[in-house]
Each structure stands twice: as structure tokens, then as C-alpha cells.
Amino acid sequence: MDLFARIRRDARVEGLGIRALARKYGVGRDTVRTALSRADPPPRKTPVRSAPRLAPFKAAIDEMLRQDLDAPRKQRHTATRVLARLADEHGATELSYSTVRDYVRVRRAQIDVEAGRRVEVFIPQQHGPAEEAEVDFGEVWVILAGVKTKCHMFTFRLSHSGKAVHRVYSTQSQEAFLEGHIDAFEEVGGVPTKHIRYDNLTAAVQTVLYGKGRNRVENDRWVLFRSHYGFDSFYCQPGIDGAHEKGGVEGEVGRFRRTWLSPMPEVDTLAELNARIRDYDARDHDRRIDTRIRTVGQDFAAEQPLLRALPFERFDPGLVLHPRVDRSSLITVRMAKYSVPARLIGRQVRVSLRASEVVVFDGRDQIARHERVVARGGESINLDHYLEVLRHKPGALPGSTALARARATGVFTPAHEAFWQAARKVDGDSAGTRALIDVLLLHRSMRPDDVVAGIRAALTVGAVSADVVAVEARLHAGGPAPTRHPGEHRRGDGQRVVSLTQRRLADPAAVIAGLPPDRRPLPSMEQYDELLTRHAAAPITSTRKGTSGT
């Protein structure tokens, strides 16, 4: 285009002839004549590739493609497979992959039309603000506590703005399905006003009524959930056709997985992973979808006020079960075991099974809460549930599973170990273990950090009494720190640790000042004074047999 423009200018302005123009620009005279006759260059000639070596095998390729008309979608011939069959069955070893690929791409579409197959056409859709959303599950692999584990990612996407919420669970169970909705509604601050699109998930659909449109027999608990939050469900057609009806969330699952979960994330718990995912969702506010002018965050800011408000009460997504506590103070829930207080052995308890945790109730009182165990046959055991029994059987503590789990999770700290060793050295194994259990019982009413500080303070002077630990823990929790005295010690982290005995010897007033204020009323002696007054005013009379006197 630029060459033609310069040739035409020089001919017009400088008056150069055809020969001079051809010499100046190094082109043929025919090119100069063409440039002077038209302003736009003629289109380049595209050579037609005849592929003579492919001609003898076209009929065989066509037959393979016709077999694909009745084959499953994922088991149709690819260009690579066609080339391999031609080499094996027809001796076509000199054909190139690109030649076969180009022919298969064109010929497959022609054979589909010849067979009367419907050509799939996608029609652009427009979604009103706050009206619709889409939901789907997608598989994701996670290095969970050092083990490669297959998990399931719940994805909720507002159709208008593209704002998406993601959560990863160990299963696709109904409790995960409901909990994902609740998290999504609370994250976006409302509920779509029209409907939400779904696959025919078993968490929501019991039966697909074929031949009756989109009617479904829904799960009763799912109907209750929809009624509670006030939205309708829209179920897509079964199979591949239904995937196209919610293409936004289908693409979102893959995009998020490629963007934020590649390579596989390494975490200790799913709660840790979901905390990361919340940050990823917030960072996605800055991205733009396709050719949109505004970002996802800008469109969501305009859409969010139009969502229907959340109901006053939060729906409990847990599945209610009633297992019985066995002799090991364990309950079995979905092939996993969880501990409860030993006083409940032999009784039935109520369990709320949720996507990421298991909550246990005795009547209306919550008695235990565990992170849900992913592995089948796994256990979640809390040492605190066995303390009352261990006070009567202290010899069972060293080899107990509960103690091993407490050590593994960091609940039983080196400070506890040091106190136990010191107590057994002073009082013997049984009495020393009971002293440790008394210290462990303090965790029920005090913060762990305060108890650990109390243990370290007591050990500084060799005090292995739970009472000393309790007082020191109270001082660490609420009292102002007294001035430092010569008998003080410092821990490795630099914080002051002063034993109760050292404070008493150095400055008793500092101990009193450090304790929380005593709000009890002062004692009164008025009633005793009144008794003394009455006794002084009354005459003293003594009576003997046969005599009387005053």
C-alpha cells in the first residue's frame, strides 16, 4: 500500500515516467502500471495445496469420520489417531501431520452437515444486574498435610458482573453445597432476585423428569433452603447441552484453577486454603472480562445494592445425625471417629455434620467441635475430653492416643512436658500426673497463653502446684506487671516471668497490686456489737436447787 502511494505521488508531483519509477523503486514496469491504474494493490494469490500424496487415502479418512457420527464425543478420531491408522492399516508412512490435520478439520464439518446434524450456534445473552447467578463444582488437587488429595471447588458466579466466590471442600455433599451458598451470599451481601442456574446435582435434585421440560423432583432440605433465602432454581439440560447453558461458571472454574491453583497449593488444612482463596477472589476484582470497559469490581459495585437482602436468621447447613458414644468416648460420623466428653459414654448425642467441621450437642449445649476428617477411617481426638477419667487412671495418660494427638497438634506444649517431668520427679508418677491434669483443666477457663506463662513462672522456682500456675496465669492475663526485682528471670522471647514466691519475698505489696481488684463488700461488726449491748443490759440469774439469787 505504501509503495503504491509513493509511485503515484512521484508520477503526479515529479512527473516521472514508468521506466524512471521502476528504476527508482526496484520493481517491474507492470507493477508501476498497476500502481498508476489503481490505488489499492491487488490481493496476493494464495496457492492451492493439492496434497497429491493424500488423494489415495481420502476415502479411508472419510470412512473414519463417518464412524464418529455414532461414537461418544470423547472417543472420536483426532488427526493424530487418523494419521496413525493410515500408517498401520494403509501403509501411508510419508504423509505429514499438517496435511492430515487440515483435511480432517474441513471434512469433519462437511460430513456433519451431510448427515443432517444440527450445527451448534451460540447466541450472546444479556443478564440484568442482580437477577441471575450460576453455580457449579469442579475438581481440584491439593497437597493437604503432605498428601496429594482430590477436593471439590464450589463456584458461585453473578452473571451480570462476573463476580465469583470460590470455596474448596473435601466432598460434593449436600452440606458442602449449602455451606457454599451461604458463604457466597454473605460474601456478595445478598441473593439474586430472579434465579440461579444449576446442573442436575444430587445435592438438589432427586429425579430428572425426562420429557417434562425442566421439571425436577427436588430434595426436601434443598427446597427448605431455597424458601429460606427466597430464590428460584433453573436446571440446565442433562449432558453437554446443559453445560452451554451456564457457560459463564463453567469457564470460571477452569480460569480460577489455572490462575490461582497451579501449581497445586500446599496447605495443612482446607480452612487455610479457603483463607487464601478469599484473598484471590478480592484480587480478581481488578480483572476485565473479554472486551468489557469496566472491571469486575466496578460492575459488582453497581450490582451489589440491587441484590435481595439476606434473611435475619442464618440457615444451619449441617446434616443432623444422632450417633451413640462408644466405650472409648468416640462417635462415628461418615466412617470417621470424633471424641466427646467421657461423661457421655453410652448416650446418644446430636451431631451437625457440616462441610468443614463436625459440631456435637448434648441437648442444646454444644459439647464438642472438630474439623471434619477427610480420610475414611480417620480420627479427631481431643485430650480435654478424657481429663476427668485420667485423674482416676493417671497411668493411662503416657500411652494414650489423645496425648499423642495433642503433642502432634501443638496443644500439649514443651512447657506442659517440663511441668510433667518436674511434678513426677517431686511427687511420683501418679501424683505428678494428677498435678499435670489439674493444670490441663485450667485451659477450660483460661487462655492457653496465660496457662503456659503460668507454668513457666511456676517452674522457675520449682513449684509444681496447679494453684501456683492458676495464680500466675491470672496475673499474666489481667494484672499490671510489677517492677522487676533481682529474683526475676526472662524467657527466650524476652517477656518477664516472675514466680509468685519470688514476688512475695521481694515485695508483697506488688503481688496485691498485681491481682485483679476485690469487689466484695467489707465485713461489718454491727450485729456483734448489738449482741454485746443486749448482754450487758440483761440481769445475770443463777438458780440452784432450793435457793435463788440475783
Is the pLDDT at 502 greater than 80? The verdict is no
**Contacts for 68 with CB less than 8 Å, ≥ 6 apart:** 76, 77, 108
CA dist., res. 389 & res. 381, Å (int): 15
State whether residue 227 is helix, strand or coil. Answer: helix
CA quadruple 393, 399, 401, 407: dihedral positive or negative?
A: positive
- Note whether residue 399 is domain-resident: yes
- The verdict on 374 and 399 lying in the same domain is no
Q: According to the per-residue pLDDT averaged within each range, which of 116-120, 375-379, 397-401, 461-465 is highest?
A: 397-401
- Note whether residue 239 is domain-resident: yes
Is the pLDDT at 72 greater than 50? The verdict is yes
| Pairing between β-strand 195-198 and β-strand 132-144 as defined by DSSP bridges | parallel
CA dist., res. 107 & res. 114, Å (int): 10
- The verdict on 166 and 26 lying in the same domain is no
CA dist., res. 84 & res. 46, Å (int): 30
What does the DSSP assignment read for 266-313? EESSHHHHHHHHHHHHHHGGG---TT-SS-HHHHHHHHGGGSBPPPSS
- Say if CB 468 and CB 458 are below 8 A apart: yes
What pLDDT does residue 178 have?
Answer: 92
Calculate mean pLDDT across residues 368-384: 89
- Note whether residue 547 is domain-resident: no
| Pairing between β-strand 205-208 and β-strand 379-380 as defined by DSSP bridges | unpaired
What does the DSSP assignment read for 139-173? EEEEEETTEEEEEEEEEEEETTT--EEEEEES---
CA dist., res. 437 & res. 55, Å (int): 87
Domain count, the chain: 5
CATH number of the domain enclosing 217: 3.30.420.10
- The verdict on 400 and 424 lying in the same domain is yes
What pLDDT does residue 181 have?
Answer: 94
Phi, psi torsion values for 540, nearest 5 degrees: -95, 120
Measured between alpha carbons, how far is residue 153 from residues 135, 202, 252, 273 in Å? 11, 16, 11, 11
- The verdict on 182 and 202 lying in the same domain is yes
- The verdict on 263 and 348 lying in the same domain is no
- Note whether residue 59 is domain-resident: yes
As a whole-number percent, the residues of the chain with pLDDT over 90 amount to 45
CA dist., res. 426 & res. 197, Å (int): 68
Q: What average pLDDT does the structure give for the chain?
A: 83
- Note whether residue 550 is domain-resident: no
| Pairing between β-strand 350-353 and β-strand 319-321 as defined by DSSP bridges | antiparallel
Phi, psi torsion values for 542, nearest 5 degrees: -125, 140
- The verdict on 414 and 485 lying in the same domain is yes
Better pLDDT: 259 or 73: 259
Is the pLDDT at 207 greater than 70? The verdict is no
Dihedral angle at the C-alpha atoms of 224, 229, 231, 237, nearest 10 degrees?
A: -50
DSSP state of 28: -
- Note whether residue 123 is domain-resident: no
Dump pLDDT digits (tens) for 133-187.
Answer: 999 999 999 999 888 999 999 999 999 999 999 999 988 888 899 999 999 999 9
User: Cβ of 498: how many Cβ atoms within 10 Å?
Assistant: 26
CA dist., res. 347 & res. 358, Å (int): 18
User: Cβ of 44: how many Cβ atoms within 10 Å?
Assistant: 6
CA dist., res. 452 & res. 458, Å (int): 10
> pLDDT confidence of 438, banded at 50, 70, 90?
very high
Closest by CA position to 474, among listed 501, 437, 438, 511 = 511
Among 263, 282, 306, which residue terminates a domain?
Answer: 306
What pLDDT does residue 48 have?
Answer: 64
- The verdict on 392 and 468 lying in the same domain is yes
- The verdict on 394 and 478 lying in the same domain is yes
- Note whether residue 7 is domain-resident: yes
- The verdict on 299 and 325 lying in the same domain is no
- The verdict on 90 and 194 lying in the same domain is no
User: Cβ of 182: how many Cβ atoms within 10 Å?
Assistant: 18
Measured between alpha carbons, how far is residue 234 from residues 23, 125, 134, 166, 411 in Å? 72, 16, 9, 20, 47
Quick one: 350 exposed, middle or buried, by C-beta within 10 A (0-12, 13-18, 19+)?
A: middle
Is the pLDDT at 492 greater than 70? The verdict is no
- Note whether residue 519 is domain-resident: no
Q: Which residues constitute the domain of residue 199?
A: 132-306
Calculate mean pLDDT across residues 228-255: 79
- The verdict on 270 and 332 lying in the same domain is no
- The verdict on 413 and 477 lying in the same domain is yes
Is the pLDDT at 481 greater than 60? The verdict is no
